[in-house]
C-alpha cells in the first residue's frame, strides 16, 4: 500500500537557508540517508522538495479560460515543503518512516520533531482519469 508523507511548513518556518552551513549539511545528509534506506528496502517510490512559498501561486480560471494567478496567502497557511511516497506493508511502517523523518536535525543538530502528515494514496489513479 502506498502512502504520501508530507512535510508542511508555515511561511515563517521557511527560513532554512538562514541555518549555519554545517547544520544545513547535516539536515540534508540525514534526508539522503532516509532516502537511501527506503531505496534499499524497496519502499521508495518518489521524493521531492518544493521551492519556497514565495514562489507559490494559486490559479483559477478566468471567464475566458485564461489563468488568474494569486500569490497572496493567509499567514496561517501551511505550505508543502517536500514529500515522500513510500510503498509499505502496513500503516504502522509508514508512521515509523514519518517518525524518522520528523527527527531530522535542525540548527545545532537538535531534532526538529516536525509534524509529518501521512495519507494513504490509491495504488493507481481511477481508470476514468487515464
Distance CA 17, CA 128 (A): 42
Q: What is the DSSP letter of 111?
A: B
Is the Cβ of residue 22 or residue 41 nearer to another protein in the bound state?
41
For residues 68 and 122, give the distance between their C-alpha atoms in angstroms, rounded to a whole number: 30
Nearest of 42, 31, 19, 32 to residue 93 by alpha carbon: 42
Task: Show contacts with another protein in window 91-120 (CB under 8 A).
Answer: 91-92, 95-96, 98-103, 111, 113-120
Residue 36 makes contact with another protein by CB under 8 A: yes
Q: How many Cβ atoms from other residues are within 10 Å of residue 63's Cβ?
A: 6
- By CB under 8 A, tell whether 14 contacts another protein: no
Binding site for another protein (CB under 8 A): 4, 6, 28, 31-32, 35-36, 39, 44, 46-51, 55-62, 65-70, 76-80, 82, 91-92, 95-96, 98-103, 111, 113-122, 125-126, 128-130
Amino acid at each position: 500500500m502506498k502512502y504520501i508523507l508530507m512535510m508542511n511548513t508555515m511561511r515563517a518556518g521557511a527560513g532554512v537557508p538562514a541555518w549555519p552551513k554545517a547544520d544545513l549539511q547535516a539536515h540534508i545528509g540525514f534526508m539522503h540517508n532516509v532516502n537511501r534506506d527506503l531505496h534499499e528496502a524497496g519502499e521508495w517510490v518518489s521524493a521531492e522538495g518544493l521551492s519556497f512559498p514565495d514562489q507559490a501561486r494559486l490559479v483559477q480560471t478566468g471567464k475566458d479560460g485564461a489563468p488568474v494567478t494569486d500569490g497572496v496567502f493567509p499567514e496561517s497557511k501551511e505550505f508543502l515543503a517536500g514529500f515522500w511516497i513510500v510503498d509499505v506493508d502496513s500503516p504502522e511502517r509508514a508512521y515509523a518512516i514519518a517518525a524518522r523523518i520528523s527527527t531530522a536535525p535542525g540548527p545545532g543538530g537538535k531534532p526538529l520533531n516536525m509534524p509529518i502528515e501521512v495519507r494513504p494514496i490509491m495504488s493507481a489513479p481511477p481508470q476514468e482519469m487515464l
